[in-house]
Amino acid sequence: MTDRRENTRVNWLATLAKFKDDPDRAADSAMWSPRLDGASRDELIAIQNEKLAVVTPFLYENSDFYRKRFDRLGLAPTDIAGVEDLVKWPVVDKSEMTVDVEVNPPFGNYTTMSDDIWRSRGWMLFSTSGTTGTPRVFRYSQIDREYWAWSNARAMHAMGFVPSDTVFMMTGYGTHVWAWGVQMGLAKMGIGLIPGGGMDGEMRAGIVERFKPTVLCCTPSYALYLGRTLQERGLDPAASTVTKLFCAGEPAMAIGPTREKLQDLWGARIVEFYGCTEAAPQAGGYTCAATGRDDNGYFLHLMEDIQVWETVDPESLQPSVPGQRGLSVCTNLVSESSPQLRFLVGDFTTLNQDGCACGRNHVRAMGCFSGRADDLINLRGIKFFPTQIEKAVRAIPGLGDEFQIVLSSRDVDGMDVMKVVAEHPDHGPASALTEQIAAAIRSEIELRVDVEVVAPNSLPKTEFKANRVTDQRAKT
């Protein structure tokens, strides 16, 4: 058993190294690694197939979680030897991992690392946000983090990051994979970084004014907040040195009014990362030099030589018909400690395999990722996403950038209702403005809702993954 475990690890690490093209600097102005970034569809599938044939025995021999799942499903590792075989493996969702953590605290059994290997590798602990359930913790080894630096450098180079840039990271680092992974990638690229954790808006506005960064890293919500803070200081964000808004944690390009507000406020290009702690801690999705847009709308590339991306039907969890909107699923093929087979990330998108004007043939997520299945609200049988409320609210001129959704049950009859709270200088009781907001929301989700308008800066500002929904409904 020990020999088999060691052999599968040696084989997996050798396979990872075979498909890592990691020069110190980008090969050309368009692609960090032309061999991989510019690979054809056939070449990408061949890489995925070779990796899958090696990672499945590695998972079986080294992860109790995966070995038990293989046995429970009556599958052998050799049954999943290529991309076409993945359909045999039902998707792994967050609840399944949560149960594993609860039974095997504190880390769960889905890792492939023994205590001895952890001690020899060195590691960092990261956590899911907890916005959609119990936070799950993941340790990633130094080997993993070297792959993060490489793949993130590839993605940020595609976004147009250059050595003359100065990046201002405006998030508390904590256990968020995005902040740390970006820092690792920037170090590899030789790009200057200003860490901005532990600062308030005034301090960060002062950094922008004094040190003149060219890139801001933050959520879209925080980019709006910081821009307003600069305006309060008598400064014009669009006249600053900032040329790129590097957003993650919330949709940015996918929501038209939010995208337009950011562009109008900063006069800067929006670039975006997409991923998850469990299976895509590095740049799973990213904006390319084509500005993430073609005749069909906005999109993100998905880096297919290091991951397999699919979409599944939200009800059956079976593969979506090509061109059909579905939930994102990721198979991680660039990790020693946390390779994952068909992890249900759970964001809606539509995948497109057509080549891009930037020269990449990696699959693209059309419309980016604009709604997570776990965030779906069901109010009196009508289902909608918080992003739909965001689209309606942010399209109304003069409203503040923050909003809140409050769900409750009426005392008089127990009916579930929703109130949307927004900010405006002309706040107060029912008015033409509240009617305008209610009408915009009704046209978006076909529901009548209550609206409350409060004074500017009344609602909380968040640095990462704003939680704008408060559910106070009676539980039945």
Task: Enter the tokens of residue 287.
Answer: 């904006």
Amino acid 43: pLDDT: 98
Contact 81, 49 (CB under 8 A): yes
Contact 285, 159 (CB under 8 A): no
- The rounded distance, in Å, linking the Cα atoms of 108 and 337 is 12
Mean of the pLDDT values across residues 289-309?
A: 86
Question: What percentage of the chain carries pLDDT values higher than 90?
Answer: 61
Which among 395, 310, 393 is positioned nearest to 346, based on CA atoms? 310
Chain segment 342-388, per-residue pLDDT in tens: 999 999 999 999 999 999 999 999 988 877 777 778 887 777 888 88
- Is residue 131's pLDDT more than 60? no
Which among 92, 176, 181 is positioned nearest to 127, based on CA atoms? 176
Residue 164 burial (CB count, 10 A): 8
- Is residue 232's pLDDT more than 90? yes
Chain segment 75-87, per-residue pLDDT in tens: 999 999 999 999 9
Task: Enter the tokens of residue 120.
Answer: 């020899």
- The rounded distance, in Å, linking the Cα atoms of 137 and 147 is 19
Contact 340, 110 (CB under 8 A): yes
- Is residue 432's pLDDT more than 90? no
Amino acid 254: pLDDT: 85
Segment holding 471, helix H or strand E: strand 469-471
End-to-end CA distance of the chain: 50
Amino acid 400: pLDDT: 85
- Is residue 130's pLDDT more than 70? no
* Helices 432-445/386-394 angle, 10° precision: 140
- The rounded distance, in Å, linking the Cα atoms of 215 and 168 is 6
Mean of the pLDDT values across residues 81-106?
A: 93
**Which range is least confidently modeled, 142-146, 305-309, 380-384?**
380-384
Let me know if domain 1-373 sits in CATH 3.40.50.10860. no
Which among 457, 369, 465 is positioned nearest to 171, based on CA atoms? 465
Burial 324-360 (b: 16+ CB within 10 A, else e): ebbbbbbbbbbbbbbbbbbbbbbbbbbbbeeebebeb
Distances (CA, A) of 464 to 248, 249, 280, 288: 8, 6, 18, 23
- Is residue 313's pLDDT more than 70? yes
Task: Enter the tokens of residue 379.
Answer: 């109010």
- Is residue 325's pLDDT more than 80? yes
Contact 80, 101 (CB under 8 A): no
Amino acid 464: pLDDT: 63
Contact 212, 166 (CB under 8 A): yes
- Is residue 134's pLDDT more than 70? no
Amino acid 426: pLDDT: 81
- The rounded distance, in Å, linking the Cα atoms of 327 and 313 is 6
Chain segment 455-468, per-residue pLDDT in tens: 988 888 766 667 78
Contact 319, 87 (CB under 8 A): yes
- Tell me the β-bridge partners of 379: 382
Domain spans of the chain? Answer: 1-373, 377-471
- Kindly report the CATH number that applies to the domain delimited by 377-471: 3.30.300.30
Which among 169, 184, 62, 173 is positioned nearest to 126, based on CA atoms? 173
- The rounded distance, in Å, linking the Cα atoms of 471 and 446 is 20
Across 82-229, the runs of DSSP E, i.e. the strands, are 123-127, 137-141, 166-169, 192-195, 215-218
- The rounded distance, in Å, linking the Cα atoms of 289 and 28 is 13
Tell me the helix, strand and coil percentages in the chain, rounded to 5.
Answer: 35, 25, 40
Chain segment 253-291, per-residue pLDDT in tens: 888 888 999 999 999 999 999 988 898 888 889 999 876
Question: What percentage of the chain carries pLDDT values higher than 70?
Answer: 96
